[in-house]
């Protein structure tokens, strides 16, 4: 098959990597890709957000399948454009992608569909939001309505921090047009988990659980990021929870979308809070998670392309997806200063040495090539990933690989997967 993968991050490198390992050899292209995808696919100098440029290339080259990684081109209607041109695309339509593109739309779908989620109110201006906060106090969670690269969510412990969040969104406009509206919701208590499902319009196939680490520093301290590491499976998601998650979260959401005349095809990602009252949805994403994809796809024990095509063709079945027993852990190496200001162009060394270690894969996220060197080009630079018999083994291999890799001002968390290891020890007592 001729397959185009759209995007340039660790998620897209993981998708390309998995497709390259299918039993059938594919002709792979990546737009715009990164230093890691270069060795596995043909790089196209087309930005992921340039949906017209991507369409032009696709009309000329007719890929059998296009896999869209990031949310922005999906929310801008890339799938609709490609389908109108007779091209097959793995990824939801513009209407369906609103589930991530608008927090207000997503919350309305959940409430109308009876999906368990936090109580919330929506706001169009700072004054009304400020009055609400002064009457309610904290803790609350405040979310910019639109796409904000994973950084438009504020968990506010008190009134002061909540008012600062409103100032950021409505007054300083740090998220631009994504912050013209916002929601304020109750703060749920518990552990978070990421649950992804493949959807072909009607049929749902659940993927293995994962847990992300959003905060930049150890012990979940510091500002939120796009994700500093992950592991799969997440032991906190016990077998008894799966029927509830499938029926109350995914089936109800998809039924409500169908009621609105929206057919969902692609990946539907639910960010859950596992509370004392049961799982509750924090957010939905319309695409593979990042870095969750880097720990889920290495555990997939089947060809990827046929599964993605089955979603597009509406013939998805549970038996198409099989899993390895191994656990997978990813530790994200980031640029110094991330998620705030950081420098680019730092030369990265030790990649070849780390990649030679058994059960280790180094996924590139923010990397590029300069004068024959791999250099940093983004905030999250690498996803150092390892498979193992359990979380402790996989974690140990990932951190060993990290010791081989270096670049100026590199930063990473040293506690990725500690929670899973602790949970496992407690359960074995």
Among left, alpha and beta (phi > 0; psi -120 to 50; other), residue 99 is: alpha
Report the CATH number that the domain containing residue 203 is assigned in CATH: 3.30.470.20
pLDDT class of 429 with cuts at 50, 70, 90: low
- Same domain assignment for residues 142 and 42: no
The pLDDT of residue 398 is 98
Helix (H) or strand (E) holding 21: none
Q: By C-alpha distance, which of 64, 420, 369, 418 is closest to 234?
A: 420
- Does 113 fall in a domain? no
**pLDDT (tens digit per residue) in 174-223:** 999 999 999 999 999 999 999 999 999 999 999 999 999 999 999 999 98
Q: By C-alpha distance, which of 334, 332, 346, 339 is closest to 407?
A: 346
CA–CA dist 75, 98 (Å, integer): 7
- Does 276 fall in a domain? yes
CB contact burial 48-63 (16+ within 10 A = b; e otherwise): bebbeebbebbeeeeb
CA–CA dist 386, 229 (Å, integer): 12
- Does 33 fall in a domain? yes
Which one of 136, 159, 180 terminates a domain?
180
- Same domain assignment for residues 160 and 210: no
- Same domain assignment for residues 200 and 311: yes
State the pairing for strand pair 2-7/27-32.
Answer: parallel
**Mean pLDDT of the residues in the chain:** 96
3-state DSSP helix/strand/coil percent for the chain, to nearest 5?
35, 30, 35
The pLDDT of residue 150 is 73
Which one of 296, 320, 344 terminates a domain?
320
What's the structural domain count of the chain? 4
Task: Check residues 427 and 355 and name the one with the higher pLDDT.
Answer: 355
Using CA of residue 106, residue 107, residue 113, residue 115, what is the dihedral sign?
A: positive
Token pair 């990602």 is found at: 269
Please state the length of the chain.
Answer: 429
- Same domain assignment for residues 308 and 195: yes
- Same domain assignment for residues 343 and 281: no
- Phi and psi for 143 in degrees, rounded to 5? -130, 130
- Does 104 fall in a domain? no
89 Cβ contact list (under 8 Å, min separation 6): 65, 66, 67, 68, 78, 79, 82, 83, 312
- Does 118 fall in a domain? no
- Same domain assignment for residues 174 and 267: no
Report the CATH number that the domain containing residue 390 is assigned in CATH: 3.90.600.10
Helix (H) or strand (E) holding 397: helix 391-402
**pLDDT (tens digit per residue) in 69-84:** 999 999 999 999 999 9
pLDDT class of 166 with cuts at 50, 70, 90: very high
- Same domain assignment for residues 138 and 83: no
Q: Is the pLDDT of residue 426 over 70?
A: no
- Does 161 fall in a domain? yes
- Same domain assignment for residues 305 and 200: yes
CB of 212 within 8 A of CB of 292? yes
Q: State which residues form the domain around 402.
A: 327-428
CA–CA dist 159, 129 (Å, integer): 12
- Same domain assignment for residues 140 and 195: no
Task: Check residues 112 and 425 and name the one with the higher pLDDT.
Answer: 112
CA–CA dist 376, 380 (Å, integer): 9
Mean pLDDT of 123-149: 94
- Same domain assignment for residues 310 and 336: no
- Same domain assignment for residues 298 and 341: no
- Same domain assignment for residues 358 and 412: yes
Report the CATH number that the domain containing residue 172 is assigned in CATH: 3.30.1490.20
The pLDDT of residue 428 is 55
CB of 216 within 8 A of CB of 223? yes
- Does 108 fall in a domain? no
pTM for this one? 0.96
pLDDT class of 427 with cuts at 50, 70, 90: low
- Does 116 fall in a domain? no
pLDDT class of 138 with cuts at 50, 70, 90: confident
pLDDT class of 224 with cuts at 50, 70, 90: confident
**pLDDT (tens digit per residue) in 271-330:** 999 999 999 999 999 999 999 999 999 999 999 999 999 999 999 999 999 999 999 999
**pLDDT (tens digit per residue) in 14-26:** 999 999 999 999 9
Instruction: Give, as one character, the DSSP assignment of residue 238.
Output: -
DSSP-based three-state secondary structure for 28: strand
CA–CA dist 63, 149 (Å, integer): 28
Among left, alpha and beta (phi > 0; psi -120 to 50; other), residue 201 is: left
Q: Is the pLDDT of residue 4 over 70?
A: yes
């Amino acid at each position: 098959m001729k397959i185009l993968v759209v995007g340039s991050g660790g998620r897209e490198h993981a998708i390309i990597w998995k497709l390259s390992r299918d039993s059938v050899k594919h002709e792979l292209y990546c737009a715009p890709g990164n230093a890691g995808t270069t060795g596995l696919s043909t790089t196209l100098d087309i930005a992921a957000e340039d949906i017209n440029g991507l369409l032009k290339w696709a009309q000329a080259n007719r890929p059998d399948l296009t896999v869209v990684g990031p949310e922005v081109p999906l929310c801008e209607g890339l799938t609709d454009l490609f389908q109108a041109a007779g091209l097959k695309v793995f990824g939801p339509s513009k209407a369906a992608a609103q589930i991530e593109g608008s927090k207000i739309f997503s919350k309305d779908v959940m409430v109308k569909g009876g999906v368990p989620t936090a109580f919330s109110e929506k706001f169009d201006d700072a004054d009304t939001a400020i009055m609400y906060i002064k009457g309610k106090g904290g803790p609350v969670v405040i979310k910019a309505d639109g796409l904000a690269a994973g950084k438009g969510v504020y968990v506010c412990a008190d009134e002061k921090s909540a008012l600062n969040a409103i100032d950021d969104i409505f007054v300083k406009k740090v998220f631009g047009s994504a912050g013209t509206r916002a929601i304020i919701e109750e703060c749920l208590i518990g552990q978070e988990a990421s649950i992804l499902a493949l959807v072909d319009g009607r049929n749902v196939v659940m993927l293995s659980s994962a847990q992300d680490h959003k905060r930049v520093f150890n012990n979940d301290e510091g500002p939120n990021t796009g994700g500093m590491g992950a592991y799969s499976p997440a032991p906190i998601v016990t077998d008894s929870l799966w029927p509830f998650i499938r029926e109350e979260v995914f089936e109800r959401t998809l039924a409500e979308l169908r009621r609105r005349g929206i057919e969902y095809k692609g990946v539907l990602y639910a960010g859950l809070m596992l509370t004392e009252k049961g799982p509750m949805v924090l957010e939905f994403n319309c695409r593979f998670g990042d870095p969750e994809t880097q720990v889920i796809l290495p555990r997939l024990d089947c060809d990827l392309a046929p599964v993605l095509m089955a979603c597009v063709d509406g013939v998805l079945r549970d038996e198409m997806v099989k899993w390895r027993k191994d656990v997978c852990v990813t530790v994200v190496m980031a640029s110094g200063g991330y998620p705030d200001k950081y420098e680019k162009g730092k030369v990265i060394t030790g990649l070849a040495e780390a990649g030679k270690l058994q059960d280790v894969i180094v996924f590139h996220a923010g990397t590029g090539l300069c004068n024959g060197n791999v250099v940093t080009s983004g905030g999250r630079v690498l996803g150092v990933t390892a498979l193992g018999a359990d979380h402790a083994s996989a974690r140990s291999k990932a951190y060993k690989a990290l010791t081989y890799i270096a670049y100026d001002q590199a930063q990473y968390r040293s506690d990725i997967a500690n929670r899973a290891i602790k949970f496992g020890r407690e359960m074995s007592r």
